[in-house]
Amino acid sequence: MIISLWLLGVAMKSLPLGAAYDVCWVGVGAVGTVVLGIVLFGEPATVARQFSVTLIIAGIVGLKPAHRPDVAEL
């Protein structure tokens, strides 16, 4: 839990709170849970699951360039 809070703080240095929360807690947590389920518990690694995880990772990666600090935020 402490590591998660620290990572959220690190992410908030370059991203707004909403994006940092999405990346650190929701996105990484979801991907990590799926990967651990496949590796540790033998859950099936279907094409649909792999594709879904890939979309989550693409969304996480896409949040950084989508943030424009030069635009005034409301």
- Report the pLDDT value the prediction gives residue 14, as an integer from 0 to 100: 76
* Per-residue pLDDT tens over the stretch 21-61: 777 678 888 888 999 999 999 999 999 999 999 998 888 88
pTM of the model: 0.68
Q: Is residue 34 part of a domain?
A: yes
Q: Is residue 73 part of a domain?
A: no
Could you tell me what percent of the chain has a pLDDT over 90? 31
Q: Is residue 37 part of a domain?
A: yes
- Report the pLDDT value the prediction gives residue 36, as an integer from 0 to 100: 93
- Report the pLDDT value the prediction gives residue 44, as an integer from 0 to 100: 96
Give the separation between CA 20 and CA 66, rounded to whole angstroms: 12
**Domain residues for 36?**
2-66
Q: How many domains does the chain have?
A: 1
- Report the pLDDT value the prediction gives residue 16, as an integer from 0 to 100: 79
Residue 13 phi/psi, 5° resolution? -70, -25
Q: Is residue 71 part of a domain?
A: no
